[in-house]
Amino acid sequence: MISTPSTRQRVLSLLRQSRGWLSGQEAAERLGISRAAVGKHITALRAEGHLIEAVSRRGYRLGMEPDAVAVEAIQAALKARVIGRGQWVWLDQTTSTNSEAAALGLAGAPEGSLVLTDSQTLGRGRKGRKWFSARRSIQFSVLLRPGLPARRLSVLTLLACLAVHKTLADLSQAACAIKWPNDILISGKKVAAVLVEAAIIGGEIEWAVLGIGCNLNAVRAEFPEELREIVTSVYEATGRKLARNTVYAKLIAELDRYYALLTESGSGPLIAEWKQKTNIIGNTLSLAVNSRVVTGEVLDLDTDGLLLLRDSTGTVHALEVGDPVESA
Ligand code: BTN
């Protein structure tokens, strides 16, 4: 059996020292193991998040290394008012952090609880779409008990988009854009997205889960081929590598700040900032409404966060972004 961590560590050291290509043959000779065993360690290192290229007749080359998420380091950097003050759940892998956080919501966990993971097997997006968990990226969900009427659910998506936008724009210095209703783009490609799900009881939000995925340090080749033209990472788009703990700490702090703004001042200031950042009013948009496409002019966002779109017949559509998962 060759898969001892120490041999794997020695393969990694060789890759680090070689500052370029390391042939499988050379690695095998230096470590006294077979080339096949080197290959197995390379596979294991990739699974840990190391980016290792392999080219025939050249060998292996180490690219990006994983940066571990340390919950204590994130907590130490936070002075959260609500978000981050509940339970913290770190999972190496899970189906979906939104599902985990919804379970916490049902179990009565406190507002501000968080579920964070390295990888999701069934990450989801709006309208039943899948979310691909990219390597060296972040995906997490926040449990909220906002005590708001159900018609205000859209505001939580806008809030999360503002927090993601501010975090990525400040840390990466890139020109980020918010695309209604729930995406953050860099250079026209999706770099992050938000999925809000909620339990509605008696017309009120009993609990809501804000799920956020941000592609930070994955490279293009690590995305499924069918996503490569529409999805990117901060690193791919800007050349900047962001440490995951830094992004988590800043993003949770921004969510907490915007949430304080919502609970203290209502939806008005949030919606005003969202309108100013997106510059969307007056634009023409084509959107799917009840399985047909409606093209119209964006008139405004109302105080419930609904997008008011006037089509060519003069009909005004009020479009929401919330995805209630339960109601009674
Ligand atoms: C979308 O593309 O429509 C939204 C994607 C939201 C993805 C995040 S990742 C963390 C959380 N858990 C999920 O299953 N989805 C959200």
Mutate to test the pocket of ligand 1, among 130, 178, 182, 212 (most ligand atoms within 8 A of CB): 212
What does the pLDDT read at residue 6?
80
Residue 278: closest CA among 102, 157, 173: 157
Helix (H) or strand (E) holding 320, with range, is none
Type of residue found at 31: L
> What is the bridge-based pairing of β-strands 307-311 and 292-301?
antiparallel
Q: Would you say the pTM of this structure is higher than 0.85? A: yes
Please state the separation of Cα 159 from the chain's center in Å: 14
Residues 6+ apart with CB under 8 A from 219: 51, 63, 64, 233, 235, 236
- Ligand 1 atom index nearest CA of 95: 14
Nearest-CA residue for atom 11 of ligand 1? 211
Q: What does each of the 328 residues of the chain score in pLDDT, given as a tens digit?
A: 444 558 999 999 999 999 789 999 999 999 999 999 999 999 999 888 888 999 999 999 998 888 889 999 999 999 989 999 999 999 999 999 999 999 999 999 999 999 999 999 999 999 889 999 999 999 999 999 999 999 999 999 999 999 999 999 999 999 999 998 899 999 999 999 999 999 999 999 999 999 999 999 999 999 999 999 999 999 999 999 999 999 999 999 999 999 999 999 999 999 999 999 998 899 998 887 777 888 899 999 999 999 999 999 999 988 887 544 444 3
The two structure tokens encoding residue 291: 């399985």
State the distance from the centre of ligand 1 to the C-alpha of 101, rounded, in angstroms. Answer: 12
State the distance from the centre of ligand 1 to the C-alpha of 35, rounded, in angstroms. Answer: 40
CA atoms of 153 and 148, how far apart (whole Å): 8
Buried b (16+ CB within 10 A) or exposed e, 65-89: bbbebeeebbbeebebebbbbbebb
Nearest-CA residue for atom 2 of ligand 1? 125
Residue 7 DSSP SS3: helix
Nearest-CA residue for atom 14 of ligand 1? 123
Residues contacting ligand 1 via CB (< 6 Å): 96-98, 120, 123-126, 129, 131, 139, 141, 182, 193-195, 211-213
What does the pLDDT read at residue 132?
97
State the distance from the centre of ligand 1 to the C-alpha of 260, rounded, in angstroms. Answer: 23
Mutate to test the pocket of ligand 1, among 93, 98, 252 (most ligand atoms within 8 A of CB): 98
What does the pLDDT read at residue 326?
44
What does the pLDDT read at residue 324?
40
